[in-house]
Amino acid sequence: MNFSTNQNNICVVIPIFNEIDFLDELLNRIYPFSSTIICVDDGSTDGSKELLEPNDKIILLSNGKNRGKGFALKVGLMKALEYNCDIIITIDADLQHLPEQIPQFAEAINNFDVVVGNRLTSIKGMPCHRIASNFLTSWMLSKKTGIKILDSQSGYRAFKKEIVKSILPVETGFEAETEMLINAAFAKKSIGFVNIPIIYNNNKSKMRPFATIMGFLRVLFRSTKNISEL
């Protein structure tokens, strides 16, 4: 099945936690590419939730308190299944992804079940600890799944709607994004990549490196038996 890349076929899910400085610009840049934008506020305390005004295109969901990026993604993806869009895009709220690349993801999903943004073709500007952790986790994930994973930590992704239920995460933190790739591999879903630039701004990263790496290892080794049976 070939999917069209017009906005009526695309739903965008955005997990949000204290992103008031970026939301207006982000949403305005997404508007031309999506008919439905699902914002999942994960307990923001900076006024992000209050800034968002639901309308015929924006759906606002709230976790009430900070539950974790993985939890917010799961809530948003489950909500996206209620809408008549064949393609679901996840994008981070801090403007470290270019919304203008949404059509590239929508085009690539014609050939894959999951498409992930790959930032590692040019690592200039990425902090050293992020480079090391991303290359290590991507390599380990590739070994376990038998699929070449180019960027395991990128939150910019596209999914065919019909496969989303089969890959939803149990984890609630950043490691949920790794879990979803493992679930996709276990379910024999194809995974492709679109090259995206590394963009850093003044927004402080919410990822805690040690906790994220430990979460990654927990997910990876919990799944070792299942993955080895693929």
Question: How sure is the predictor about 153, in pLDDT bands with cuts at 50, 70 and 90?
Answer: confident
Q: What is the mean pLDDT of residues 173-183?
A: 93
Would 21 be classed as within a structural domain?
A: yes
Directed axis angle between helix 176-186 and helix 69-80, to 10°?
50
Question: How sure is the predictor about 223, in pLDDT bands with cuts at 50, 70 and 90?
Answer: low
Is the separation of the CB atoms in 56 and 69 below 8 Å? no
What is residue 149's predicted lDDT score, i.e. its pLDDT? 95
What is residue 225's predicted lDDT score, i.e. its pLDDT? 44
Would 134 be classed as within a structural domain?
A: yes
Tell me which residue of 196, 67, 41, 200 sits closest to 130, measured CA to CA: 200
Q: How many domains does the chain have?
A: 1
Question: How sure is the predictor about 209, in pLDDT bands with cuts at 50, 70 and 90?
Answer: low
Average pLDDT for the chain: 89
What is residue 131's predicted lDDT score, i.e. its pLDDT? 75
The CA–CA distances, whole Å, from 195 to 11, 25, 87, 108 equal 21, 22, 19, 11
pLDDT, tens only, 4-52? 667 779 999 999 999 999 999 999 999 999 999 999 999 999 999 999 9
Question: How sure is the predictor about 204, in pLDDT bands with cuts at 50, 70 and 90?
Answer: low
- Hey, what are 35's tokens? 């008919």
Q: What is the CATH number of the domain that holds 154?
A: 3.90.550.10
Would 110 be classed as within a structural domain?
A: yes
The answer for residues whose C-beta is within 8 angstroms of residue 143's C-beta and 6 or more apart is none
pLDDT, tens only, 61-107? 999 999 999 999 999 999 999 998 999 999 999 999 999 999 999 99
Q: Which residues pair with 13 in a beta bridge?
A: 38, 90
Q: What is the mean pLDDT of residues 178-207?
A: 87
Would 49 be classed as within a structural domain?
A: yes
Tell me which residue of 141, 142, 56, 159 sits closest to 102, measured CA to CA: 159
Q: What is the mean pLDDT of residues 190-202?
A: 89
Q: What is the mean pLDDT of residues 176-196?
A: 95
What is residue 208's predicted lDDT score, i.e. its pLDDT? 64
Directed axis angle between helix 209-222 and helix 176-186, to 10°?
20
Would 2 be classed as within a structural domain?
A: no
228 pLDDT above the threshold of 60: no
* Domain range enclosing 150: 7-228
pTM of the predicted structure, to 2 decimals: 0.89
Would 173 be classed as within a structural domain?
A: yes
Lowest mean pLDDT among 3-12, 73-82, 127-136, 179-188: 127-136
Would 57 be classed as within a structural domain?
A: yes
Would 121 be classed as within a structural domain?
A: yes
Other beta carbons within 10 Å of 208: 12
